[in-house]
Structure 1
């Protein structure tokens, strides 16, 4: 039956433009994913005589159907399903699917009842406006960002969590709120909520009100939603509302949907997955045993970025908003260099005006607010391709000429000291640290984003300032300021 639904999904998707799909955040679940998600349900804790099932953003009903068949095979006698779907054009197909499912249950002398609500799940807030509480929810919510000033979704979930990061966060939070105690929630969403400032309030709500039991990751981003060209990195996760405390969290993985039946499964201590050493509550994913060892090593580092007196900021020059200041003609009079991503190398920053991509910043009226003091920094790229070998690329900026200020694009982060200036040895030490394979792998465990967020850097464990300076003193030991293992750094730090 799921294959028939899948066929309907594909036919329907072909009638929708990419723009229409983006507006609704509509990306249909493939049948192998639906079956995998339903397999995560713990049927032993459910009442076999009545299970209340919630599916918000139901689409053509593939998650409800897959879940219902799973429960039927596990001996559940009665399912009462509530499905929310905002797209009116899908409702007739959805009704046909559920009627067929109801007939199949009847042949088995079981009961399947359903209620389709053709309305907006978030604006309705069923967790507040209905008395029904659900035992189980299996969901693929829509995802899109919305205007915090103009959207109907802005501030709709402020009673649950702070912020408006993405519509999928609202769907998940409301669903969790609508569950009974010990209710199970299985969802597929973007990975973006696991870290970062925007999702901080959402993460806190989830972890304060539910137990994270499992996360499943896809190593390929290209074959999760096969009806679209999106390259969003997605995860499947399972939560238990107000469940008993767990000491371990399961991480499973596969390459894509073709090997979902044989996932690689590992169980890790909870404190490795959820970082409780700060108030960010980031969720870290070791994809391999090597990643687990890296996180263990990182936990043994003695300090953090902020504890050692460092700051990290995003470059203030937003190029499309400062076009009148920018020029490719370099006169050195009433202008300063603008440091861009192509100027950043692990051996240092190279800006000499000879590269055709080099840009100067003209010192026109009100230029000051766009520039930073011309002192020594470590420059860290903010953006790299997912397929690039490195996520972290850092270079030491040595002040160019006798200038008071310098331009740094917002495609870069710059690192310095809060109350003083980086010394040469300290800057070299930081560059060595951030260009290390160890630090790069550590960051990948923290963030699945190709964007390097300053928030994530601030909470990373690092050596002490004295140890970083010691690293800088040994910079000549690193031929390219890049190395493959943590052993060299430990050797120097333990001298």
Structure 2
């Protein structure tokens, strides 16, 4: 029985993976795409059957699974023109497998070129007069890819070459994506499988600005499971598939789909307004239902942010392993309280609890903060916990004997001028709608202060009024929801 080119490709890839240590592939950030994901990604492209020729790009091609899946679909839908495919791959070990897989596509109108060179530095980018790139001006109609997932130093050649979209130490996946956008023809389409970390936060702000100024997002697919996406690999990363089209025209809707695993047997689809997904603040919100869209619409009508209300969230200041010399297990007349996320108990701060290093002995101002009123928020939660935002009310009146306190850096805090502010912020962040909002905004289990500070909130006056209602009441989520409904709808 004859195998299809894609089946042959999957077979050769499986043999390659089983005979090559994962550690070797990890140095390239290499995780091979499954057959079902490759077929799904190929199906997302709009193929213009009237075009005489198509130019395709697969950067970081690996064994060619995505290329072969796209080529197979192009022919299956009846395209009869010529197809030129360019593949970049810098792992010598997989080049032979890639060549065999592309050769198995027996088609007189198909040609391919494999480039064993660095996709990023071998060509110019943006306004950068490249010191590295020798290629310039190559563009493509369709780009498909599973870019390498690997963090690189900020002084790496790739990062320097694409400094326009970099902030700090970048990850290769969004450099590949940005270069792909650069390589697209006007009206061309790009489909990538990537982490979802780029959708928010300051770290990816330059990249998002570049993406959204050159392309429109048309389709997004979200996976419900973190560990069943790349066959045979242990990848605990929030993963998504995205399709963008080069050009200034924005569609009225974005098609968002989701599935729990990579077999797509439980595929769900939902169309949402473009402006709901791509917000004015430059974030991209991954909504999957009418309910989530309503959450964004409701909070989007609010007038302020924590920044404009001068209620910024900050990250705790003590990093344990760097400050061991000032940490203490027992109190003395020279020690101050050191608070951890473990001190958040049922909405309040309970200290001490017999934990190691609950005291700090120092006069160094950079290690201490004023003993005033704070809302403490856990920075890290587990994927399985019911709430992403977990808060604790800290009142300085409960610990009047201390002039200073300190906070460990797995805890976020918001400094408040009054008890009403603390209780009011607790109403917000302990409510159902704000927890839903943050989960839509950020798929990770880390609570990022930059994102919290830019969430829409009521005015400080309203926050204090809500706080007065909560004082003396039960600190449950249900009570917070009831108070919040009186002020926002």
Q: CA deviation at 1:288?
A: 2.2
* CA 481–468 in structure 1, closer or farther in 2 if over 3 Å, else same: farther
Q: Are the counterparts in 2 of residues 58 and 139 from structure 1 also a CA contact under 8 Å?
A: yes
The question of 1:58 aligning with 2:56 is answered no
- Tell me, in whole angstroms, the C-alpha distance in 1 between the residues paired with 2:297 and 2:480: 14
- Which residue in the other structure is 2:130 paired with? none
Q: CA deviation at 1:484?
A: 7.8
Deviations 1:426-445 (A, max 9, x none): 10111121011111001111
Q: CA deviation at 1:21?
A: 3.1
- Tell me, in whole angstroms, the C-alpha distance in 2 between the residues paired with 1:118 and 1:251: 35
* CA 188–220 in structure 1, closer or farther in 2 if over 3 Å, else same: same
Give the TM-score, by structure 2 length.
Answer: 0.92
The question of 1:143 aligning with 2:149 is answered yes
- Tell me, in whole angstroms, the C-alpha distance in 1 between the residues paired with 2:55 and 2:144: 11
Q: CA deviation at 1:457?
A: 0.6
The question of 1:372 aligning with 2:366 is answered no
SS of the equivalent of 1:212 reads strand
Q: CA deviation at 1:48?
A: 3.5
- Which stretches in structure 1 are left out of the alignment for 5+ residues? none
Q: Are the counterparts in 2 of residues 48 and 75 from structure 1 also a CA contact under 8 Å?
A: no
- Tell me, in whole angstroms, the C-alpha distance in 2 between the residues paired with 1:224 and 1:196: 24
Q: Are the counterparts in 2 of residues 163 and 199 from structure 1 also a CA contact under 8 Å?
A: no
- Which residue in the other structure is 1:339 paired with? 339
- Which stretches in structure 2 are left out of the alignment for 5+ residues? 126-132
Deviations 1:452-477 (A, max 9, x none): 11111111111111111111111157
The question of 1:221 aligning with 2:221 is answered no
- Which residue in the other structure is 1:124 paired with? 122
- Which residue in the other structure is 1:489 paired with? 484
Number of residue-to-residue matches in the alignment: 474
**How do residues 108-123 of structure 1 correspond to structure 2 at under 5 angstroms?**
111-123=109-121
Picking from 53, 74, 94, the partner of 1:71 is 74
- Which residue in the other structure is 1:428 paired with? 423
- Which residue in the other structure is 1:302 paired with? 303
Q: CA deviation at 1:322?
A: 0.8
* CA 492–317 in structure 1, closer or farther in 2 if over 3 Å, else same: same
Picking from 104, 116, 119, the partner of 1:100 is 104
* CA 265–167 in structure 1, closer or farther in 2 if over 3 Å, else same: same
* CA 3–100 in structure 1, closer or farther in 2 if over 3 Å, else same: closer
- Which residue in the other structure is 2:34 paired with? 30
Q: Are the counterparts in 2 of residues 475 and 481 from structure 1 also a CA contact under 8 Å?
A: no
Q: CA deviation at 1:491?
A: 2.3
The question of 1:413 aligning with 2:412 is answered yes
Farther-moved stretch of structure 1 (74-83 vs 16-25): 16-25
Deviations 1:90-127 (A, max 9, x none): 011111111111x2x23xxxx11000011211121266
Picking from 412, 427, 438, the partner of 2:433 is 438
- Tell me, in whole angstroms, the C-alpha distance in 2 between the residues paired with 1:477 and 1:42: 59
- Which residue in the other structure is 1:154 paired with? 159
Farther-moved stretch of structure 1 (204-213 vs 68-77): 68-77
**How do residues 226-241 of structure 1 correspond to structure 2 at under 5 angstroms?**
226-241=231-246
* CA 318–51 in structure 1, closer or farther in 2 if over 3 Å, else same: same
Q: CA deviation at 1:180?
A: 1.0
* CA 206–15 in structure 1, closer or farther in 2 if over 3 Å, else same: same
- Tell me, in whole angstroms, the C-alpha distance in 2 between the residues paired with 1:303 and 1:370: 31
Picking from 159, 173, 176, the partner of 2:181 is 176
Q: CA deviation at 1:485?
A: 8.0
- Tell me, in whole angstroms, the C-alpha distance in 2 between the residues paired with 1:356 and 1:312: 25
The question of 1:209 aligning with 2:214 is answered yes
SS of the equivalent of 2:298 reads helix
- Which residue in the other structure is 1:196 paired with? 201
- Tell me, in whole angstroms, the C-alpha distance in 1 between the residues paired with 2:17 and 2:321: 35
Picking from 67, 89, 95, the partner of 1:91 is 95
Q: Are the counterparts in 2 of residues 437 and 484 from structure 1 also a CA contact under 8 Å?
A: no
Q: Are the counterparts in 1 of residues 466 and 483 from structure 2 also a CA contact under 8 Å?
A: no
Q: Are the counterparts in 2 of residues 59 and 85 from structure 1 also a CA contact under 8 Å?
A: yes
Q: Are the counterparts in 2 of residues 85 and 120 from structure 1 also a CA contact under 8 Å?
A: yes
Deviations 1:51-95 (A, max 9, x none): 000000101101000000111122222110000011100011111
Q: Are the counterparts in 2 of residues 28 and 227 from structure 1 also a CA contact under 8 Å?
A: no
**How do residues 234-383 of structure 1 correspond to structure 2 at under 5 angstroms?**
234-259=239-264, 263-276=267-280, 278=281, 281-328=282-329, 330-352=330-352, 354-357=353-356, 359-363=358-362, 367-383=364-380
* CA 250–300 in structure 1, closer or farther in 2 if over 3 Å, else same: same
- Tell me, in whole angstroms, the C-alpha distance in 2 between the residues paired with 1:423 and 1:459: 22
* CA 211–163 in structure 1, closer or farther in 2 if over 3 Å, else same: farther
Q: CA deviation at 1:314?
A: 0.7
- Which residue in the other structure is 2:128 paired with? none
SS of the equivalent of 2:360 reads strand
- Which residue in the other structure is 2:388 paired with? 391
